[in-house]
Each structure stands twice: as structure tokens, then as C-alpha cells.
């Protein structure tokens, strides 16, 4: 057990583990020290000097990086401390593009909130502003350095959390800017579009590319038949956009809202997730039985795919050739649903709502053509619902539209780390053993451990599986396979820590809440409980999926499947 130390904060005695930051120790006793550059689990940087406290030293110290020590006496709220914080805030604001009213983050900006909290009512030190061009090169994210406060939370998210590191500080002093090396643009570097940077950003310096206008245009066009699909993780977080508690599952309200927005059909990516299991499960069984390349690695996460293409293309043969659920759904809509409904392909607008910024990049990959026309994220759907004046909280529940809206519990857990693997095991086990799987919840691959391993006995074979989420963990896992240290049959990798529920397109959560609650765990709970509430919890039991095979595809892994549901990847340079 770690050593405990006792310290006094604002006269209150508190006991914490040695090494705990003073910021966290203060939080434990209900003192919320304001922060900007600090982000729980991501960045302890000590740069913004907003969280400074009086620790009896000759200067004030940043509480986010100050380790609690025995006998420490901390004052968080003296006049000196307050004035110092306020002046540092004034200084930050003096070099900030303050076009707040038209900012993406208006009303959801930590800088705005903290300035308000500190009662900053004027900026006395106006001077030169740094002026930079917007970076519009990425299909997923917009970088606006003029709104950047150089807190480096994005840099830590990209470099430390994700172990990618395509953005960092360049220049120095007042000229410092966070950007890719050598003045490159985000679209030109090995960025995987995971959006963890924008999730970390406290201001409007990195935001999601807004594609809502394209959707409104399509809905407004009487000649277009607008079809929407929503990914599993969206339902676990959309409610947060409207002030519902984190972890509230809003599947029914979301379906109603989509219908009210004017979509002609509201389908569920969960259907395609079940379809993915049919294809991927079959592919895995094929590889197992025919000495195919193992381990097989899942291909649902477009961030992971691009990460692999840049960094680990020696694993190309290991990749499942299955399209992601978004792209399978896109293909089914354009190639099966359209002819079935007698709608010309060009009149269908296929929209997807995703928790994921990288899905915007994925939909634009040349190999997928126009299967998905527009990708909007959970954040953007929230915007559309607000624009339409829909009182989300009071919406009644409704169901998705039939056939392509039907799904099992296996599909809904795709949104959380380990979910794809668990769903695959539920099907692969039954197909191979021809027995019913009784214990369908695979606890060993659930949870937020970065790397999870399990061995599942199927017939005589010990199937070794591994699950990694967050590309830093993916890197560790793949390196251990490269070196020969580890061997597996089947691997699930998700680019984002926690899986899709923590995707770059999900609603933004204030750092103060991230300090108090484990957001990812709450969202995961929502999906697991949705799974438990489903009548059918195994993908191969989805009757609508079975019908699409009967009507159109033939059999899983068959010729038609390969034509419409499978894909190829490319090798990309790292620099």
C-alpha cells in the first residue's frame, strides 16, 4: 500500500497517498481549484499558472504538478492567489481571438467558464496578438491557432496518451504555436483523425469539421431520399448534449429526434455491426481452419486503420478485410436498399451519425466511393437537434425503421473496448461448437485496462485473444507480436482509449467533470445495460441480417459479400 501523507489545505486536514497532486487532494475535500492546462489522465503540465496556490514558497506553485507532502500547508484562496490567477487569465485573454459569439465552443468553453469564474471584467494588458492561418486541411478537424492558449492538452493527448505525436509546440516564447512539425498541415501528416486532441482542447482551437449544412441541404431537397444510420456509441452520449447525466442511454429519443429532423429512414449501424460479426467471424473461422494469417485483427476503427497504414503496415495481411460497420451499412443502403425500394442510387443521400471524427476520413476513402455521403458526429447531431428547436429531454421513444434498423445486443457493445471481440466470440463459439454459449458476457475483456488478454476454449483449441484500445496500447501490443514475445489468434484494436464511446466526435466534457467522474466508464455502462436489455444478444440470431443474406448476399464470406462488404488497405508513409 502506498504511503499516506497528511496536509492542510485552507485549514482543512486531508490525508492522501504520497505523490497525489495538491489539486486532487483539494478536490477530495470539496475545493475545486480552477485549471486550464491540466486534464485528468492526460496532462499535468504546470503551464497556465491558473491553478497556482500558496505553498509557503517564495513563489506560488501550480497545484496540478505539486505533489502532496507530509505537513504541507496550502492556501488556495488568498487575495494574492486570486489576484495572480486573475492576472494570468487576463494575460491569456489578451492574446486570444475573442470572437466568442461565433465560436464553435461558445457556451462550452473552459476558457470562457474559468474567466467568468474568476470575475475577469477587463483586460488591461492588450497588446500584440499572434495571428495564424486556420488549418483546414484535415477532413475531420479544424485547427485555429488564434484560439489556442498553448495549454498543450492536445499535445499530450496526441503524444502521450495516443503515442502518435503529430502535433507539438514549435517556435518559442510569444511566437510559440502548436502545430505539426515543419509547418505542415494536419491533413499532410500521419494524423489518424482520432480527435483525442479536440476532446482535450479547452477552447475552440481544435474543433470538429462541421458537416451539418450538407445534411440540412439534403433534407431540404425534395428529390433526395435521406437515410441515416447511427453508431452504437452515439446513443450512450448524445444525452449529454442536452444536459442529461453522463451514461444515460437515449436510443429511443434519438430515433424520434432523427425522424423529426426529417430523415426519410432512420437505420441503425448496429444492424451493420451484426453483419460485420457474420463476415468477420466467418473470416476468422476460415483463417483458423485453413492456416490463414493469424492473428487476425479487427478493422472497425478507422483511426486504427490509418495508424496501422502509417506505422504497422507489416500487419496488413493480418487485417480483417471486413469493411467497418459504417461502410457495410453504406454499401447495404446503396446496393441493396436502393434497388429494393426502387430509388435511383443518385437520389439517395446516405448520412451517418458517428462518435468518431475519423469516420469523416473513412467515408472519403476512394475505395468506398459514395456509399456514405455525409458523416456527422454526435456533437453535430446535438447541434442539429438544437437548431430544430426540439426539446430532447421530453421526446418520446421510438424504434428504428425496420430491417436495417434491427440489431442484437452483440452489436451495441461494439461501441466499447472489447465489444467487437465479445460479439465475435458469441458467434464464433456457437458456429464452431454447434453448442449454445451460456456465459455470453466475457468479463476478462471488459474494463478500461489498456491491454486485455484472454484464452477461450473452443472445441479443442485454446483461442488466444487480445484487446487494445488507444493507439499507445496498440503499439505496445503490436511491438510484442513483432518481437515474437506474444502470439495470439484474434485481436481487437480501437484507436480511442475506451473505444468508440470516447471517440473524437462525442460530446465534449469539461475537465472539472473529468476530474470528478470516469466518463468513459459511465458511457460503457450505458451500452452494457442496453445489451442486457435486448432479447437477442448474438449477431447470428438477428433475423433481419439473416434475411439480407437470403435476399441478396447469399452466405457470409461468399462472393457477393466480398464484392460489397470487404475492402483493402494501403501502405502510407510516416513522414
Partner 1 sequence: MITKKDLDKIKAATLTENYLDDSREGIRVTVGMATCGIAAGAKPLFRLLKEGTADLEKVEVKMVGCIGSCRLEPMIEVYEGSKRTTYVFMTPEKCQKVLDEHIKGGKVVTEYTIGAADKENASSITEMSYFKSQKRIVLRNCGTIDPENIDEYIARGGYEALDKVLTSMSKEDVVNTLLSSGLRGRGGAGFPTGLKWKFTMAEADQKYVVCNADEGDPGAFMNRSVLEGDPHALLEAMAIAGYTIGATIGYIYIRAEYPLAVERLKIAIKQAEDKGLLGKNIMGSGVDFTIELRLGAGAFVCGEETALIASIEGERGEPRPKPPFPSQSGVFGKPTVINNVGTFANIPQIIVKGVDWFKSTGTEKSSGTKVFALGGKISNPGLVEVPMGTTLRDIIYNMGGGIPNGKKFKAAQTGGPSGGCIPVDHIDTPIDYDSLAEIGTMMGSGGLIIMDEDNCMVDIARYFLDFTVDESCGKCVPCRIGTKRMLEILERITTSKGKADDISKLKELGKNIKLTALCGLGQTAPNPVLSTIRYFEQEYETHIKEHKCPAGSCQAMIAYFIEAEKCIGCGLCARKCPVDAISGEKKQPHKIDRSKCIKCGACMEACPVDAIYKR
A 10 A CB-CB count for 171 gives 12
Residue 524, classified by CB atoms within 10 Å of its CB into exposed (0-12), middle (13-18) or buried (19+), is: buried
In the bound state with partner 1, the residue whose beta carbon lies nearer, of 50 and 218, is: 50
- Residue 59 near partner 1 by CB under 8 A: yes
Q: Is 188 within 8 Å of 180 (Cβ atoms)? A: yes
**Residue 362 known to be catalytic:** yes
In the bound state with partner 1, the residue whose beta carbon lies nearer, of 118 and 425, is: 118
CA distances from 58 to 25, 293, 404 (A): 22, 63, 66
Q: What's the rounded Cα separation, in Å, for the pair 143 and 355?
A: 19
Q: Is 378 within 8 Å of 241 (Cβ atoms)? A: yes
What is the sign, positive or negative, of the torsion defined by CA atoms of 110, 111, 114, 115?
Answer: negative
**Residue 18 known to be catalytic:** no
**Residue 241 known to be catalytic:** no
Which residue in the list 154, 300, 356, 496 is annotated as catalytic? 300
- Residue 87 near partner 1 by CB under 8 A: yes
Please identify, among the stretches 92-100, 203-211, 239-247, 443-451, the one whose residues bind partner 1 according to the rule CB under 8 A.
92-100
Q: Is 84 within 8 Å of 91 (Cβ atoms)? A: no
- Residue 94 near partner 1 by CB under 8 A: yes
Please identify, among the stretches 56-64, 250-258, 275-283, 390-398, the one whose residues bind partner 1 according to the rule CB under 8 A.
56-64
Please identify, among the stretches 47-55, 99-107, 334-342, 344-352, the one whose residues bind partner 1 according to the rule CB under 8 A.
47-55
Binder among 65, 117, 137, 335 for partner 1 (CB under 8 A) = 65
Q: Which set of grid coordinates corresponds to residue 316? A: 496488413
A 10 A CB-CB count for 102 gives 7
- Residue 3 near partner 1 by CB under 8 A: no
Which is nearest to 197 in space by CA: 498, 496, 513? Answer: 496
Which residue in the list 280, 309, 380, 430 is annotated as catalytic? 280
What is the sign, positive or negative, of the torsion defined by CA atoms of 134, 379, 388, 346?
Answer: positive
Find the distance separating the first CA and the last CA of the chain, reported in whole Å. Answer: 45
Q: Which residue has the cell 503496415?
A: 313
Which residue in the list 500, 530, 538, 539 is annotated as catalytic? 500
- Residue 487 near partner 1 by CB under 8 A: no
Binder among 5, 31, 43, 47 for partner 1 (CB under 8 A) = 47
Q: What's the rounded Cα separation, in Å, for the pair 384 and 434?
A: 46
**Residue 320 known to be catalytic:** yes
Cβ neighbours of residue 301 closer than 8 Å, sequence gap 6 or more: 324, 356, 358, 493, 494, 495, 496, 500
**Residue 300 known to be catalytic:** yes
- Residue 91 near partner 1 by CB under 8 A: yes
A 10 A CB-CB count for 336 gives 18
- Residue 18 near partner 1 by CB under 8 A: no
Which residue in the list 110, 179, 240, 362 is annotated as catalytic? 362
**From residue 160 to residue 199, what is the string marking binding to partner 1 with x (rule CB under 8 A)?**
--------xx-xxxxxx-----------------------
Give the shortest CB-4-to-partner 1 separation in angstroms. 18
**Residue 191 known to be catalytic:** no
In the bound state with partner 1, the residue whose beta carbon lies nearer, of 64 and 465, is: 64
**Residue 283 known to be catalytic:** yes
Q: Is 329 within 8 Å of 180 (Cβ atoms)? A: no
In the bound state with partner 1, the residue whose beta carbon lies nearer, of 34 and 505, is: 34
Q: Which residue has the cell 458511457?
A: 523
Binder among 124, 183, 394, 434 for partner 1 (CB under 8 A) = 124
DSSP single-letter state for residue 4: E
**Residue 359 known to be catalytic:** yes
Q: φ and ψ at 243, to 5 degrees?
A: 80, 10
- Residue 463 near partner 1 by CB under 8 A: no
Please identify, among the stretches 25-33, 90-98, 137-145, 396-404, the one whose residues bind partner 1 according to the rule CB under 8 A.
90-98
Give the footprint of partner 1 on this chain (CB under 8 A): 45-50, 52, 59-62, 65-67, 69, 80, 83-84, 87-88, 91-92, 94-95, 124-125, 127-128, 150, 168-169, 171-176
Residues catalogued as catalytic: 280, 283, 300, 320, 359, 362, 367, 500
Amino acid at each position: 500500500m502506498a504511503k499516506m501523507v497528511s496536509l492542510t489545505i485552507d485549514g482543512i486536514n486531508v490525508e492522501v497517498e504520497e505523490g497525489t497532486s495538491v489539486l486532487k487532494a483539494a478536490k477530495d475535500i470539496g475545493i475545486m481549484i480552477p485549471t486550464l492546462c491540466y486534464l485528468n489522465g492526460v496532462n499535468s503540465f504546470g503551464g497556465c499558472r491558473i491553478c497556482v496556490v500558496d505553498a509557503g514558497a517564495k513563489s506560488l506553485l501550480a497545484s496540478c504538478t505539486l505533489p502532496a507532502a507530509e505537513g504541507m500547508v496550502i492556501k488556495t484562496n488568498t487575495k494574492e492567489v486570486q489576484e495572480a490567477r486573475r492576472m494570468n487569465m487576463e494575460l491569456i485573454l489578451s492574446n486570444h481571438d475573442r470572437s466568442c459569439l461565433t465560436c464553435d465552443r461558445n457556451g462550452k468553453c473552459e476558457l470562457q467558464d474559468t474567466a467568468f469564474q474568476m470575475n475577469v471584467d477587463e483586460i488591461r494588458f492588450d497588446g500584440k496578438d499572434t495571428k495564424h492561418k486556420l488549418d483546414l486541411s484535415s477532413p475531420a478537424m479544424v485547427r485555429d491557432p488564434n484560439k489556442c492558449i498553448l495549454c498543450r492538452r492536445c499535445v499530450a493527448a496526441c503524444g502521450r496518451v495516443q503515442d502518435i505525436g503529430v502535433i507539438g509546440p514549435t517556435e518559442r516564447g510569444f511566437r510559440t504555436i502548436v502545430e505539426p512539425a515543419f509547418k505542415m498541415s494536419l491533413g499532410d501528416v500521419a494524423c489518424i483523425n482520432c480527435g483525442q486532441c479536440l476532446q482535450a482542447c479547452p477552447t475552440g482551437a481544435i474543433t470538429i469539421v462541421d458537416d451539418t449544412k450538407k445534411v440540412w441541404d439534403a433534407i431540404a431537397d425534395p428529390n433526395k431520399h435521406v437515410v441515416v444510420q447511427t453508431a452504437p456509441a452515439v446513443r450512450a452520449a448524445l444525452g449529454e448534449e442536452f444536459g442529461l447525466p453522463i451514461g444515460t442511454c437515449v436510443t429511443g429519443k434519438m430515433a424520434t429526434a432523427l425522424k423529426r429532423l426529417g430523415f426519410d429512414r432512420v437505420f441503425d449501424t448496429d444492424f451493420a455491426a451484426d453483419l460485420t460479426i457474420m463476415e468477420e467471424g466467418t473470416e476468422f473461422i476460415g483463417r483458423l481452419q485453413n492456416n490463414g494469417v493469424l492473428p487476425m485483427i479487427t478493422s472497425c476503427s478507422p483511426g486504427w486503420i490509418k495508424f496501422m497504414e502509417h506505422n504497422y503496415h507489416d500487419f496488413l495481411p493480418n487485417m480483417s478485410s471486413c469493411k467497418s460497420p459504417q461502410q457495410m451499412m453504406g454499401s447495404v443502403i446503396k446496393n441493396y436498399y436502393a434497388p429494393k425500394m426502387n430509388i435511383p442510387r443518385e437520389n439517395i443521400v446516405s448520412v451517418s451519425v458517428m462518435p468518431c471524427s475519423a469516420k469523416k476520413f473513412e467515408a472519403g476513402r476512394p475505395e468506398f466511393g459514395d456509399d456514405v455521403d455525409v458523416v456527422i458526429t454526435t456533437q453535430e447531431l446535438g447541434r442539429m437537434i438544437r437548431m430544430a428547436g426540439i426539446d430532447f429531454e421530453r421526446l418520446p421513444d421510438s424504434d428504428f425503421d425496420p430491417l436495417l434498423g434491427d440489431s442484437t445486443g452483440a452489436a451495441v457493445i461494439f461501441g466499447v473496448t472489447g465489444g467487437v471481440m465479445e460479439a465475435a466470440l458469441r458467434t464464433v463459439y456457437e458456429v464452431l461448437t454447434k453448442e449454445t454459449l451460456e456465459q455470453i458476457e466475457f468479463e476478462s475483456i471488459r474494463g478500461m485496462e489498456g491491454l486485455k488478454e484472454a484464452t477461450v476454449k473452443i472445441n479443442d483449441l485454446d483461442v488466444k485473444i487480445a484487446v487494445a484500445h488507444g493507439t499507445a496500447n496498440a503499439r505496445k501490443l503490436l511491438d510484442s507480436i513483432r518481437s515474437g514475445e506474444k502470439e495470439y489468434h484474434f485481436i481487437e484494436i480501437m484507436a480511442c482509449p475506451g473505444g468508440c464511446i470516447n471517440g473524437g466526435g462525442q460530446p465534449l466534457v469539461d475537465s472539472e467533470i473529468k476530474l470528478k467522474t470516469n466518463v468513459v466508464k459511465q458511457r460503457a455502462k450505458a451500452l452494457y445495460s442496453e445489451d442486457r436489455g435486448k432479447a437477442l444478444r448474438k449477431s447470428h440470431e438477428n433475423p433481419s441480417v439473416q434475411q439480407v443474406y437470403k435476399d441478396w448476399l447469399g452466405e457470409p464470406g461468399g462472393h457477393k459479400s466480398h464484392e460489397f462488404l470487404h475492402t483493402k488497405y494501403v501502405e502510407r508513409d510516416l513522414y
